[in-house]
Amino acid sequence: MLLVKCLVVPPLDANCYIVAAEGAREAAVIDPGGAGEGIRDSVAQADLVVAAILLTHGHFDHMTAAVELAISSGAPVYAHPADAGMLARPQAQMPGVVDDSVPGVKEMRPVEEGDEIEVGDLRMTVLETPGHSPGCVCYLTEGAIFTGDTLFAGGIGRTDLPGGDFEQLRASLRDKILPLPDDTKLYPGHGLPSTIGEERRTNPWLADL
């Protein structure tokens, strides 16, 4: 069984997930976009410890608390190297929105397709899903996938930001996401959870894939 706790964090209401195998103490934190103190409090309240910080991509709303959390916990930050530039300089993505005091991620463990990250009894498999950004990845575990801004309930990630590519995103969805079983739980980077089957049936962006 999987323990999943979702926190909606500033500045753009991104979903930050605290994930652990039931009965284990080691947890992964996926996309700590902000509210680092609140994330730490939620981890502590669940009697867990942060063992890994997993980033689905480099956009600032998914990573601004990553360094703060890494320093406080000693946990490594995992991300795809294709987004290393934006991770290192989050202020450059949207000047005036990201505070100058927010540290960029300059030390990370690079991930690529097929990598397996072990967090206690939890095993997360990396799927490369570029399109929303060059370094977008999803994290797949038994019965669930954390999609960041690749796929939402009823939508898909935008591709009009620097590095976005609509056809690349379509290929990622077709080749990496849609082959998953219908009952796979979908935990997106914004909005409500869903399942792969529900999105296959109702998401208009997937209709012709």
3-7, 101-105, 140-144: the lowest-pLDDT one: 101-105
- Has residue 91 got a pLDDT over 90? no
CATH of the domain at 75: 3.60.15.10
What the block records as the tokens of 111 is 């991930």
* Distance of alpha carbon 116 from the chain centroid: 15
Instruction: Decide: 64 and 41 in contact? Cβ < 8 Å.
Output: no
- Has residue 103 got a pLDDT over 80? yes
Share of the chain above pLDDT 90, in %: 92
Residue 127 domain boundaries = 2-206
pLDDT tens per residue across span 118-154: 999 999 999 999 999 999 999 999 899 999 999 999 9
What the block records as the tokens of 177 is 């996401």
Work out the number of other CB atoms within 10 angstroms of the CB of residue 107: 9
**pTM (2 decimals)?**
0.97
Burial 91-104 (b: 16+ CB within 10 A, else e): bebeeeebeeebeb
Total domains in the chain come to: 1
CA angle (78, 75, 48) in 5-degree steps: 115
Instruction: Work out the angle between the directed axes of helices 36-45 and 66-73 (0-180°, nearest 10).
Output: 40
What pLDDT was estimated at residue 92? 86
What pLDDT was estimated at residue 50? 98
Instruction: Decide: 143 and 197 in contact? Cβ < 8 Å.
Output: no
Bridge partners for 2 per DSSP: 21
- The mean pLDDT value of the chain amounts to 96
Report helix, strand or coil for 148: strand
Identity of the residue numbered 64: T
- Has residue 96 got a pLDDT over 80? no
Cα distance between residue 82 and residue 95, in whole Å: 21
